Amino acid sequence: MKDRILITGGAGYIGSHVANLLIDQGYSVSIIDSLITGHKELVPNKSKLYICDIANKKSVSKIIKEGDFDLVMHFAGLIRVDESVKEPEKYNDYNCEKTKIFLNMCFEAGLNKVIFSSTASVYGNPKKDKVSEDDELDPLNPYALSKLKIENFLINKSKILPINYIILRYFNVAGADEKMRTGLISKFATHLIKVACEVAIGKKSELIINGNDYDTHDGTPVRDYIHVSDLADIHLLCAKDLIKNKKSNIFNCGYGQGFSVNQVVSTLNDILKLKISTKIGPRRESDSKYVVSNSDKFQAYFSWKPKYNNLKYILQTALDWEKKNDYK
């Protein structure tokens, strides 16, 4: 019998990639998404979609009871750092309070295996070149804080209830499904690679580089970019492990390799064989200067090697998706 997996936020960028891979691998997938930021066209045809809020007790309780799921993957949430700084209460309400309501419904129904979508932003400005899972946590913005609160919620709940979790701390996720079934759609994108590709196809006039006076090799912030299809594969491995071994864990999700904003722009220019228009702007509040993963723990635990660890490939798939979905 196929394992049954419930996904929240499956109409979003990462959730839809994971849903597609799980279906490819023979899993039964059900999705809860309010479609407030998600997109119905990204939902795989072979999945079952429930359009509702994750904190709707009547609807969600019914879905969980009837679905008899083996595991839940929780992606649903607000993700814009800049917005979280301006509206911290909104992020606390959705990413924390509604998530707690949802997870408590899961636990009460016996759905006790959770994969939680967290962020490398919980580390703040790391004191080491490569940050490990047991390093100091110092969230610099309400978005990162909201993720850390749910990490702690899961850890504390596991001490009093028979639940198991895997917390995945994403570094900078980019690229698109190589079959072009899904990718990043956002009217308010702040993600560097997304915006740079929008400039490349003429959807935006220029890329604002938010600060070139950081203490990095070229003055621009450095990030660890991971292809979304590799991240989906990480979720697949974690699902198999959690269902079989029922062991809680926390893993970084990155390649352990950093690229600056300028390096990303330069690589995109090489692909395009022209230079996109850029402009130096002010730093963004709560931006970290250098965030790169130590991903040894995950790679050792699963004997895993990434398939798409190539900045040019990440950019090319992101660009191909943007061209395919030029929704002006």
Active site residues: 143
From the list 39, 10, 40, the residue with the least C-alpha distance to 23 is 10
Alpha helices in the chain (DSSP H): 13-24, 57-67, 81-86, 88-91, 99-108, 142-160, 192-200, 228-245, 261-272, 296-302, 311-324
- Lookup: tokens for 297: 């723990």
Contact predicate 64/105, CB 8 Å: yes
Amino acid making up residue 44: P
C-alpha to C-alpha distance for 254 and 105, rounded to whole angstroms: 31
Inter-axis angle of helices 192-200 and 261-272, nearest 10: 30
Closest CA to 264 of 324, 181, 164, 191: 191
DSSP one-letter code for 280: E
The answer for 110, left when phi > 0, alpha when psi is -120 to 50, beta otherwise, is left
